[in-house]
Copies of this chain bind each other. A is one copy, B any other.
Amino acid sequence: MAENTITLAHGSGGRAMSQLIEDLFRCAFDNPWLNQGNDCAVMDSPPGRLVMATDSHVITPLFFPGGDIGSLAVHGTLNDVAMSGGKPISLSVAFILEEGFPLADLERIVRSMADAARQAGVPVVTGDTKVVPRGQADGVYITTTGLGRVSEGVNIAGSRARPGDAILVSGTLGDHGVAILSLRENLQFQTTLESDTAALHELVASMLAAVPDIHCLRDPTRGGLSCCLYELAQQSGVGMIIEEAQLPVREAVAGACELLGLDPLNVANEGKLVAICPGHQAQALLAALHHHPLGREAAIIGQVVEDAHGLVRLKTRYGGMRHVEWLAGEALPRIC
C-alpha cells in the first residue's frame, strides 16, 4: 500500500527521491536540459529581451473536465509569458506533495504536464520535489516558472491602454470557473461544461503578426474579466466601458452562474485573453483572432475612455450604465 503512495522519503534528497526523479520526471519530460541531471539547467540565452513569469497552482479538484492541475500548471505560466508578447522557451516545475498522495495520480498529472508542454513546444528543463507530512498540504501543489523571448518591436504592457483603444476578448467567458464550481457543487447540466485551459502563445503570435502594435494583453484568470480590466485601467490611468450585449458567454455558463449566484464577469478563465489595441486596428485584430482555433468566438467588447478614477463601466443590454464591481472578497478559493 505504502509503495503506491508518496512517502516522506520521496522528499529526502536520498535514494527514493533520486528514483522518483529518474523513473517518473525524467522519463516523462525527457529533454537534454533536464537530462543534464543537475539542480539547474544551462541553455543558450535568446537574443533580445527575456520574459519571466511564475504561478503556483492549488486547484481542487485535481482532475476536471477539460484538464487537470498538470495541464493547467503548464498553460497558466505559458500564458503569463505569452501576455508579454513573448515566445516561451522553457519551463521549470516545483512540486509540493502531501505524504500519502497516490503515485498513480502523480503519474497521471506528470504525464498530462509533459503532454501539455510537448504540445506547446516548450521543454520542462529543471524542477524540484518537496514532500510534507500528511495534513500539511492537500494532495499536490505545483509551481511553474516560464521563460520566453520577446521580439524586437513588441512592446506590450498593462500601462499602455489609451483612450480610443478597443477592448477585445478571445472567446467565451467563465468556462473554467463554472466547470470547476459545477463539479464541486455536483451540479448536473445537459451539456458538459469544460474548462477552457489552453496555451495561448501561438494565438498571440498570430495576433502580433496581424497587429504588431497591440498595447495590452492579459489573461483574465482568478477574478475574471472584471479584475483583469480593473488592473489594466488602474495601471494605465484610464477608464473602460464594456457592452453587455457583446460579451460572449455560453448559455450553459450563464445558466450555471444564475444558479450559483455568480457573475460571469468575475469567474476565472484559463484559455482566454483580453487584448487592447488602437481603435482603428480592432477589426484587423478581430479577424486574426477569428482565424485561429482558440479565437473563433472572439469579440470586440468595449473601449478605453478617459477617466482619472480608473473605473470600469458596463453598458447593459437595456441601455443603462453601471459600474462593474471590483471583487473585494473571495467566492471561489482554489480555482487555479
Contact = CB atoms under 8 A, between A and B. Distances in A.
A54 B145 contact: yes
A261 interface: no
A80 B45 contact: no
Nearest to A16: B328
Interface stretch (A104-112, A218-226, A246-254, A290-298): A218-226
A47 interface: yes
A53 interface: yes
- Taken together, the copies of this chain in the complex come to 2
A139 to B, nearest CB: 9
A40 B81 CA distance: 6
A131 interface: yes
B96 A128 contact: no
A66 to B, nearest CB: 20
Contacts of A13: 221-224, 227, 268, 327
Q: Is the interface of A mostly helix, strand, loop or mixed?
A: mixed
A116 interface: no
A135 interface: yes
Given A42-B84, A49-B43, A54-B126, A8 B333 contact: yes
Contacts of A227: 12-14
A224 B9 CA distance: 14
Given A45-B149, A93-B54, A12 B141 contact: no
A333 B132 contact: yes
Nearest to A22: B234
Interface string A26-64: 000000000011111111111111111111111000000
A136 interface: yes
Nearest to A90: B52
A319 interface: no
Contacts of A192: none
A23 to B, nearest CB: 14
Contact of A50 (B11, B42, B133): B42
B141 A37 contact: no
B52 A130 contact: no
A53 to B, nearest CB: 4
Contacts of A95: 56
Interface of A: 7-9, 11-18, 36-58, 80-81, 83-84, 86, 90, 92-96, 125-128, 130-133, 135-138, 141, 143, 145-150, 157-159, 218-219, 221-224, 227, 230-231, 234-235, 268, 326-334
Given A44-B50, A52-B147, A55-B128, 8 more contacts: A15-B327, A16-B328, A36-B158, A39-B53, A52-B92, A55-B94, A136-B137, A137-B138
